[in-house]
Amino acid sequence: ISFNSVDSSLSSLRNCQSYINTGMDIATHVALDLVESFNDVEDVNSMEKVMIEYAAMDRELNHYMRAIEETVNQIKREKPENIPDLKSLVHEKFTAMESKNSDSDLQKNEKYMYFKDQLKEMRKQFCHKSGNGEEAIEQIDEDIAVTQSQMNFICPITQMEMKRPVRNKICGHTYEEDAILKFIQTRKQQKKKVRCPKIGCSHSDVKGSDLMPDEALKRAIDSQNKQ
C-alpha cells in the first residue's frame, strides 16, 4: 500500500497548523498592544477568546493528524491483504480522541499559556502608570516600583540593560538572549550543565528549549527608554 497521498495530506495539515500558530502570535501581540495603550479590559478579553478558539482548532488538527499517523502505523504493522477503509479508521480514532476533550486542554495549549503569562507580566510592568485619584499609586511607591522594575531590565550575565530578553520557563528569570545562548553553548562544549546566572537561584540545568521571548519586559524597557 502506498501512503504518498497520505504523507502529502499530512504535510498540508502541518502547514495549516503553522497558520494557526501565526494567528496566535498576532493575537498575543495585539493584546499586549492593548494593555500598553491602556485599552478596555473588554478589548483584551476579546483577544483571549480568539486565543481559545485558535487553541481549539489546534487541538482538533493535532487529533486528526495523530489519528492519521496511528492508522497508517497500524496498517503497516498488520499488513492486511485487502486495502482497508482508511477514512473510516481515521474517523473512528479521531472521534475517540475528540470525545475526551475538556476546557482544561485548551488552557494547557503552549501558546495560550504564553499569552496568559505575557499578559500578566505586561500588566505588572505597566501597572504603575495606570489609575488616578484614590486608585493611583502614591508617588513614593511608584518611584520604588519603577526602580525595582528597572533592576529587572539588567541581564545577570552582561550586567547591561537587555535588548532581547528571554525568560526561563522553569525558574522565571530573564537574560539577554545572545548572552544566555552563548553561555549554554560554552558549557555544552565543556560537557557541563548550566546553572541559572541569577544570584540566589537554585535552578542548575538551564536549557535553550526552556527559554521564551519576554515581549512584555522588552516593551517595558523600550517604553522606559522613550521617556
Query: Would you say residue 190 has pLDDT above 90?
Result: yes
Q: 28-67 pLDDT, tens per residue?
A: 999 999 988 877 788 889 999 999 999 999 999 999 999 9
Across all residues in the chain, what is the average pLDDT?
87
Task: Report d(CA 179, CA 192) in Å as an integer.
Answer: 17
* Residue 119 sits in the same domain as residue 191: no
For residue 9, pLDDT over 50 is answered with: yes
CB 54 within 8 A of CB 23: yes
User: Range with the lowest mean pLDDT among 53-57, 107-111, 150-154?
Assistant: 150-154
User: Considering only CA atoms, which of 31, 35, 26 is closest in space to residue 54?
Assistant: 26
> Which of 100, 128, 156 is the last residue before a domain boundary?
128
Q: Is 166 helix (H, G, I), strand (E, B) or coil?
A: strand
Domain of 186, CATH number, reads 3.30.40.10
DSSP-assigned beta bridge partners for residue 174? 167
- Residue 150 within any structural domain of the chain: no
Tell which of 76, 106, 128 closes a domain: 128
Find the domain containing 201 and state its range: 165-225
